[in-house]
């Protein structure tokens, strides 16, 4: 595996591979790899001739009061894990390589970024995501890009960017990877102490209760809220939304997402579950 720092190096490497007729898979990350990240890398390895993983803690998607300065970073560990997963190139640029002096372009997606994490974290968050992902697509020119379904709203934002800007890349959303007790894997789980770690399992249990309520015709939101209340978790949001448009829904006629965000101990955690509708 090669660790590359510059856009020019990555473009040259990809150009050679594409000239040989091989496909390119990209896994955009902010590092602090866990099994969720590695599952994306393995999927990319199975499907492509070249696998590029970007490792870049993107400053533009953090607000001033968020954890940019303390976000977990360990490039040596991440590089070893990526290499073991079969990654060919780890693209680990400095911020100035991605955002040089005079950078003045921002990509804003309307309609699906103002709610949920967009409302909780602010409009800058998905602007930062959309802009950096578009830059990465321009740099790497991947045939396929892999994202985790845990960040369901982010996946929808990226899909919208690809559609609206006619970008020639397929977006592959891979299933959420969970700990044995159900907690969705996240780089921010390292912020949890033992008590908060145990409390955090209520998020996935709430989603399981909601799924059971959906199948039995009971109140989906009430079932989830009861589990969270019992665990003493005050949510930022717990909402049922259309799986494609993120419009609020009261009944699961089409596929819907139940999404939750909450601060547990020192960590802000998100999770979601897809509820299948009668019509698709």
pLDDT tens, position by position, 185-199: 999 999 999 999 999
Mean pLDDT value of segment 154-160: 98
Marked catalytic residue, from 34, 37, 124, 273: 37
Rounded to whole angstroms, how far apart are CA atoms 151 and 174?
10
pLDDT band at 153; cut points 50, 70, 90: very high
The pLDDT score that the predictor gives to residue 106 is 96
In the three-class reduction of DSSP (H, G, I as helix; E, B as strand; rest coil), residue 190 is classed as helix
Is it the case that residue 169 has pLDDT exceeding 70? Answer: yes
Round the average pLDDT of the chain to a whole number and report it: 97
Q: Count the Cβ atoms, other than its own, within 10 Å of residue 60.
A: 18
Sheet holding 89-91, edge to edge: 2-4, 89-91, 50-55, 24-29, 144-148, 170-174
Residue pair 30/71 in contact (Cβ under 8 Å)? The answer is yes
DSSP readout, 135-172? HHHHHH--SEEEEEGGGHHHHHHHHHHHHHTT---EEE
The pLDDT score that the predictor gives to residue 156 is 98
Residue 34 annotated in active site: no
The pLDDT score that the predictor gives to residue 191 is 96
Is it the case that residue 171 has pLDDT exceeding 70? Answer: yes
DSSP readout, 103-130? --------SSSSSTHHHHH-THHHHHHH
The pLDDT score that the predictor gives to residue 133 is 98
Tokens of 81: 């894990």
Query: Which residue carries 């040596």 as its tokens?
Result: 76
List alpha helices for 190-256, DSSP H: 194-216, 220-230
What is the per-residue pLDDT across 48-72, written as a single tens digit (0 to 9) for each?
999 999 999 999 999 888 999 999 9
Query: What is the pTM assigned to this prediction?
Result: 0.96
The pLDDT score that the predictor gives to residue 280 is 52
The pLDDT score that the predictor gives to residue 279 is 62
């Amino acid at each position: 595996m090669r660790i590359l720092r510059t856009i020019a190096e990555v473009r040259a490497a990809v150009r050679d591979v594409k000239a040989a007729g091989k496909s390119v898979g990209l896994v955009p990350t902010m590092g602090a790899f866990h099994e969720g990240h590695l599952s994306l890398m393995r999927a990319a390895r199975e499907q492509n001739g070249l696998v590029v993983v970007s490792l870049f803690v993107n400053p533009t998607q953090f607000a001033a009061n968020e954890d940019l300065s303390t976000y977990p970073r360990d490039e040596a560990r991440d590089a070893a894990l990526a290499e073991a997963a079969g990654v060919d190139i780890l693209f680990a640029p400095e911020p100035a390589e991605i955002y040089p002096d005079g950078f003045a372009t921002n990509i804003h997606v309307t309609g699906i970024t103002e709610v949920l994490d967009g409302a909780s974290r602010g409009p800058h968050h998905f602007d930062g995501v959309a802009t950096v992902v578009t830059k990465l697509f321009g740099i790497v020119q991947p045939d396929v890009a892999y994202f985790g379904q845990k960040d369901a709203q982010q996946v929808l934002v990226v899909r919208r960017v690809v559609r609206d800007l006619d970008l020639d890349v397929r977006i592959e959303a891979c299933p959420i990877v969970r700990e044995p007790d159900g907690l969705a894997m996240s780089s921010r789980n390292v912020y949890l102490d033992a008590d908060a770690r145990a409390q955090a399992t209520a998020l996935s249990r709430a989603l399981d209760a909601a799924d059971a309520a959906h199948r039995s015709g009971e109140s989906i939101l009430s079932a989830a809220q009861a589990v969270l209340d019992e665990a003493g978790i005050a949510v930022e949001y717990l909402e049922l939304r259309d799986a494609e448009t993120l419009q609020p829904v009261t009944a699961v006629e089409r596929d819907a997402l139940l999404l939750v965000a909450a601060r547990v101990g020192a960590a802000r955690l998100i999770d979601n579950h897809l509820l299948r509708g009668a019509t698709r």
